[in-house]
Amino acid sequence: MKQMSKLKELQDRSGTVCELCNTNENLSVYDIPESPNVGLDSSILICSTCKEQIEDTSTMDPNHWRCLNDSMWSQVPGVKVMAYRMLNRLKSEGWPQDLLDMLYLDDDTIAWAGATGDGEDESSLIKHLDSNGALLQVGDNVVLIKDLNVKGANFTAKRGTAVRNISLVHDNAEHIEGKISGQHIVILTKFVKKS
């Protein structure tokens, strides 16, 4: 009974069409893997063609997924997550990269979308390395290895200053973010060492 209620709610939300490709045939509830949400926000309504290609990559037809050009703009976070994952799987086709470059996801949604590692191979992952080649991760603490003039803040961050709980700049392996003297700044990874 609960699944029927979810199906009805998803049909109402989507207008009884696939939330990815807009077809109205062979629709079913798809529970999105690694979802931090529960209930309706963790599911989308999709057709059998989309479902088959999501679950079995050997059946993937890149031209079918050109529909993501429209559905990636959905206001439904789950639809955006699946658009991101499928575009990542298809990156080697060329055109999906342009759509990925336009797709905006907030921090929570991007974390959800990337949770399965779709389309990422080890060589394409951006790795943030400190001056000694140690892998930096979100939440790490680092120490400055040189005095840095902080542009726009009129102070110098001294060598040996600890920067706690760093965050990573997702599209640039040479940049991390952290707070020094109450200022949120971007720091080059070559000027820090992991502590």
- Structure tokens of 118? 């779709």
- According to DSSP, the residues that pair with 100 across neighbouring strands are none
- Structural domains of the chain in order of their starting residue, each with its CATH number: 2-123 (no CATH), 126-194 (2.30.30.40)
Cα 60 to Cα 79: distance, rounded to the nearest angstrom? 18
Contact of 32 with 75, CB cutoff 8 Å: no
- Tens of pLDDT along the chain (195 residues) come to 466 688 999 999 999 999 999 999 999 999 998 888 777 888 999 999 999 999 988 888 999 999 999 999 999 999 999 999 999 999 888 899 889 889 888 888 888 988 877 655 444 457 889 999 998 988 899 999 999 998 877 889 999 999 999 988 877 889 999 999 888 899 999 999 998
pTM over 0.75: no
